Chains A and B, each alone.
Chain A
Amino acid sequence: MLDYAWLMLLFPALGTLIISLFGTRLGKRAVSILAPAMVFLSFVVAVAAFVSLLGLPVDERSREVTLWRWMVVGNFSVDAALLLDQLSITMALAVTCVGFLIHVYSAGYMHDDERVPRYFAFLNLFILAMLTLVLANNYLLLFVGWEGVGLVSYLLIGFWFEKPAAADAGKKAFIVNRVGDFGLLLAIMFIWTGIGSLRFADVFALAPQVWPAGSAVVGAVTLLMLLASTGKSAQIPLYVWLPDAMEGPTPVSALIHAATMVTAGVYMIARSAVLFDLAPASGNWVAWVGVLTAFFAGTIALTQTDLKRILAYSTVSQLGFMFIAVGVGAYAAGIFHLVTHAFFKALLFLSAGSVMHALNGELDIRKMGNLRVKLPTTYWTFLVGAAALAGIPLFSGFFSKDAILFAAFEKQLPVWIIGVITAFITALYSFRMVFVTFWGQERDRRLFNHAHESPRVVTIPLIILAVGAVLTGYIGLPAISAIDGWLAPAFHPAGAAAETHSVALELILLVVSGLIALAGVFAAYQAYMVDPDLPKRVRASLGRVGRLVENKYYIDEIYDMFVVNPLRDLGGWLGGVFDRRGIDGAVNGLAGVTGWLGAQARRLQTGMVGLYALAMLFGAVALLAWLATR
């Protein structure tokens, strides 16, 4: 079965091709069936590959499937080849499963849009690019997928390009990501010049011999990868594009900007575990970037009033948790949180989409309230998602977040402390959303009266995702930790001995995390249900700090002042003065001179053919003169 894994890529590729060529002719209905079907087939292949991988002994669970030799230039050669191991299959399962559900949801959600075929063509293309990214067996093919998902992200953020905000958000995402992509390209070049191969297996086998632990080159490579990841996975300092990306359709926010694409950075760091193990300092950087992002984004999420933006900042914050994990070397925990997060965050976004659908596009939580009466299914699914996000015991997020915090506790105590505080904040804002949106009194009667539950094509994926958001947690139960044992060989091909943890300590921390989460929920209940004035008083007592947080630490303004505006001015000068006077002047001048020469030549010659022959003669004389005198 593993040899047929390329089918996973084939189906979405076919879907993209068929829909982009014949989409409008096929019509909305056919397209809305075709696109999800293609992703479902990929999912089936992924499951089959997973099962056959399970059937193999542990040390054979890494298989490369070479499709063809892609290019050869001298001793540089790259194959179009897939790497099937525990890590890539886990990612592929998450991508295709969540992807399929979101495709189905989209069929209902995008039903009234004019450009349904275009939308599904992009969505299928995204699945193709994302699978290329996670299944690649070398850095160059990974880069192809990396750029591919970036492109689709840009196209889908700006899907409603008539809205200036959407078009701008698309551009912002693309440009900010460019910075990160540049880092990845440089990292790849370093790897190539240092090791002479881009194949993962070669790189990870040779790197410890070529680069001593802690050497400058491996430090540079890993830091460049970190830069790339901060772009794609929206971490400090490049996270600014993700909140704006919410201008795209909600299912896109769920699929690309929450569940899958933004986790690419985490995946790449986990994939390059061998390199990061060689550069402990870079690992520290990763962990600190992660924890600071988690904390800051969490505080911003507390102050936002737009449902999707809260979720966006929460995504940034949760990605920060994953960075903590891969930064302290707990790669399996990071991937575990990635998978649980994919389910519960997709669930939250899609539920938010259902709310938005019911309220005619309204996203301001201050206008909502008591919606559990009108939207029972959406309420329950949102509640499950929020519980998982908050880390309420027995929901998936609880186990995965705890695994990360436990690893941080062992390696980096300060990181753990900030992490625990952030976990409290997470629970607080999660249930702020629940209470303000679904409980209490309705605040806008007109909106409330018009609210209605979404059709089944929307709610069924919600229910399935809700089940997933609970169950995925149990693949990583502490002490048993199926996912840890499953993934470990992918990170340490050499077979490093597994570290032994103190089970008692782990259980104590588990209880602490659970209590923290419940405390957050309780605080949210106090603040938003019992004593609605409390947030205002807190806000007043915070003064300037509060305003700082409310305005998202003025990060966008700082970028505008120090990066965007100077660059725009430079661009304006280049485009206006330099281009017109300098380059156009030179080109026009050249063209003028050429034209003048042509005119002169034409006047000299009576017949064109004669001129042509003369030119040939001149050429021949020049050529012969050169060859004869050598």
Chain B
Amino acid sequence: MTLPTLNFLAILPLLILVAATLLVLLADLVVRNKRVLTFLGLLAVAASLAAVLLVRPAAPTFQGMTLADELGLFASVAILVATGLALLLALERTSDFTRRPGAYVALLLLATAGMIVMAKASDFITIFLGLEILSLSLYILVGFAQRDARSNEAALKYFLLGAFASGFFLYGMALIYAATGSTNLAEISKGIASHSASLPFAPLLPIGVGLLLVGYGFKLALVPFHMWTPDVYQGAPTSVTAFMSVATKTAAFASLIRVLAAVWSGDRPWLLALAGLAVVTMTLGNLAALRQTSLKRMLAYSSIAHAGYVLTGLAAGNDRGFEGALYYLIAYTFMNLGAFATIQAVQRRDQNDVTTEQITGLSTQRPGLALLMTVFMFALTGMPPLVGFFGKLYVFSGAVQGGMTWLAIVGVINSAIAAYYYLRVTVLMYMGGATAAAGDIPRTGWAVWTTLVITAVATLALGLWQQPWMESIREAVTLLALR
């Protein structure tokens, strides 16, 4: 028996993260100044990022269980950036809701590891492994504000429904295995391509994919698998919401793109199913966001809508749509994280949310925060030349090219609806008179400012300067070899 070759370099970023998780937990026992733990976490993220960018092993590794391809690299970078920013966000405010910042940092790192596994996995077993690692970590993180009943409730809901969704996911995997005889994406792809008619249980394939879609739909908050989102996003500590709203989406979408590319057989009904999901997701998300008075709830519905836009790119079923979806994810990472970061900066120490009333007249109290929030709101609306505009431009043009002009039109109408609630925030901040009591808004520390400035600059700069990103994205999509 020969031992399988294990290319540990390929999973170096993961090893760093997991090792750092353990280190943080150990250090938690001895270190008095808990801020050190966050810095340790940041260091680990930086090291992991360096490993992702510098160590480029030949794909695939671990018997085809994981891929270190361009898509994995792209998603890993986006996820790690989100983690780093979330850690910075948490630095000053973790003590607001917990006495155990060490565990918080450790879980954040562990969740990141899970996301990267999921994004890089090329086998259903590893995909599920990543999914569970990230889910379990997030269940705890959502409920981390132990004294806050809403946080506890959110965690329980997320956990129960997540378990339900995992069931669908597993069942889908099983049926696909039954239909194709493999759990490996490359094998499945080969099987479908060479002798799809001769597979004995071929009819099970679409059912399996459908069940899988339910599982992904849950993680991505697609309608109608989205109902947990507002409760969880509102209940979770704001830095957790900021993190999970962007990083989970990146991981799950990267994985979904990989799976679709593997099982994709050029069938239009599948695309129509995705398009249908995109339509209801965008529309319901935006309509529900219109009348929210809690900013976190509003952004929760908005994040549902944005998942719909990204899905539009996938439903296009062509390279351009996939490229658009990936670009959208990176754009969304920065603009949405920035928006949640601003909310955290504005929220009171004893609260875990900000109401529209609280931001009324913010421009007179805190002009800097108001300006940055405006940038994020404009970006989420999709105003040129910010990233949000180009994200929409690319996914919609993908849809048009894929013969789904109607889907692009629905998307544009949705963008117009969304403009109402995003711009309302700006209007309230600048023209709403002054009701926000200045004393209620805690001083904004350097770490939060850093997060805000990085996200704001990226929101502007990545719109104006796209070449390197788009090249990486294009390579990622080309390597998927969409049929």
Interface residues of A (CB under 8 A from B): 21, 68-74, 80, 144, 587, 590-591, 594, 608-609, 611-613, 615-616, 618-620, 623-624, 626-628, 630
Contact = CB atoms under 8 A, between A and B. Distances in A.
Given A74-B320, A619-B225, 8 more contacts: A69-B466, A615-B224, A616-B214, A619-B223, A620-B214, A623-B277, A624-B207, A628-B210
A620 B164 CA distance: 12
Given A616-B165, A627-B206, A71 B224 contact: no
B464 A70 contact: yes
B269 interface: yes
A627 B394 contact: no
A628 B205 CA distance: 9
A608 B230 CA distance: 13
B55 interface: no
B210 A618 contact: no
Given A623-B273, A624-B207, A630-B269, A68 B467 contact: yes
A609 B157 contact: yes
Contacts of B466: 68-71
Of B217, B225, B288, most buried by chain A (CB within 10 Å of CB) is B225
B283 to A, nearest CB: 11
Given A73-B394, A618-B224, A619-B214, A612 B464 contact: no
Contacts of A594: 287-288
28 contacts: A21-B368, A68-B467, A69-B467, A70-B466, A71-B466, A73-B397, A74-B401, A80-B464, A591-B291, A594-B287, A594-B288, A608-B231, A609-B157, A616-B161, A616-B165, A616-B214, A616-B227, A619-B214, A619-B217, A619-B223, A619-B225, A624-B207, A624-B210, A626-B273, A627-B206, A627-B209, A630-B206, A630-B269
Contacts of A68: 465-467
Contact of A609 (B161, B225, B276, B393): B161
A151 to B, nearest CB: 13
A289 B165 CA distance: 69
Closest CB pairs A-B (n = 6): A630-B269, A619-B224, A612-B227, A627-B206, A627-B210, A624-B210
Contacts of A21: 368
B401 A628 contact: no
A628 B206 contact: yes
A612 B228 contact: yes
B165 A74 contact: no
Contact of A620 (B156, B168, B272, B291): B168
Contacts of B231: 608
Interface residues of B, number: 47
Contacts of A608: 157, 231
Contacts of B156: 609
Contacts of B467: 68-69
B42 interface: no
B390 interface: yes
A630 B465 CA distance: 43
B206 A612 contact: no
A620 B213 CA distance: 9
Interface of B: 156-157, 160-161, 164-165, 168, 203, 206-207, 209-211, 213-214, 217-218, 223-225, 227-228, 231, 267, 269-270, 272-273, 276-277, 287-288, 290-291, 320, 368, 385, 390, 393-394, 397, 401, 464-467, 470
A21 B291 CA distance: 33
A359 B277 CA distance: 69
Of A69, A80, A608, A627, most buried by chain B (CB within 10 Å of CB) is A627
B287 A590 contact: yes
Contacts of A72: 470
B224 A616 contact: yes
Of A590, A591, A630, most buried by chain B (CB within 10 Å of CB) is A630
Given A594-B287, A624-B210, A71 B168 contact: no
A627 B172 CA distance: 13
A612 B273 contact: no
A80 B465 CA distance: 9
Contacts of B277: 623
A363 B86 CA distance: 58
Contact of A616 (B218, B270, B401): B218
A10 to B, nearest CB: 13
B175 to A, nearest CB: 10
A627 B390 contact: no
Nearest to A76: B397
A282 B166 CA distance: 68
A594 B289 CA distance: 13
Of B224, B231, B394, B465, most buried by chain A (CB within 10 Å of CB) is B224
Contacts of B207: 624, 627-628
Given A612-B161, A612-B228, A619-B214, A73 B273 contact: no
A624 B211 contact: yes
Contacts of B320: 73-74
B285 to A, nearest CB: 13
Nearest to B229: A612
Given A73-B397, A591-B291, A616 B210 contact: no
Contacts of A613: 160-161, 164
Nearest to B226: A615
Contacts of A627: 206-207, 209-210, 269-270, 273
B309 to A, nearest CB: 16
Nearest to A598: B288
Of B165, B206, B287, most buried by chain A (CB within 10 Å of CB) is B206
A71 B469 CA distance: 11
Contacts of A590: 287
Contacts of A612: 157, 161, 227-228
A69 to B, nearest CB: 5
A593 to B, nearest CB: 11
A623 B208 CA distance: 11
Nearest to B156: A609
Contacts of B209: 627
Contacts of B269: 626-627, 630
Contacts of A144: 385
A623 B267 CA distance: 15
A72 B168 CA distance: 39
B213 A623 contact: yes
A594 B277 CA distance: 19
Nearest to B470: A72
B192 to A, nearest CB: 15
B390 A71 contact: yes
B414 to A, nearest CB: 14
A586 B450 CA distance: 44
A532 B360 CA distance: 61
A73 B389 CA distance: 13
A619 B227 CA distance: 12
A616 B223 CA distance: 9
B206 A616 contact: no
A623 B270 contact: no
Given A72-B470, A620-B210, A630 B228 contact: no
A613 B401 CA distance: 36
B444 to A, nearest CB: 14
A616 B211 CA distance: 11
A271 B181 CA distance: 65
A495 B157 CA distance: 75
B467 to A, nearest CB: 5
Nearest to A611: B227
Contacts of B223: 619
A7 to B, nearest CB: 17
A624 to B, nearest CB: 4
Nearest to A629: B269
B158 to A, nearest CB: 10
B397 A74 contact: yes
A70 B467 CA distance: 7
A470 to B, nearest CB: 42
B5 to A, nearest CB: 39
Contacts of A630: 206, 267, 269
A161 B209 CA distance: 60
Contacts of B206: 627-628, 630
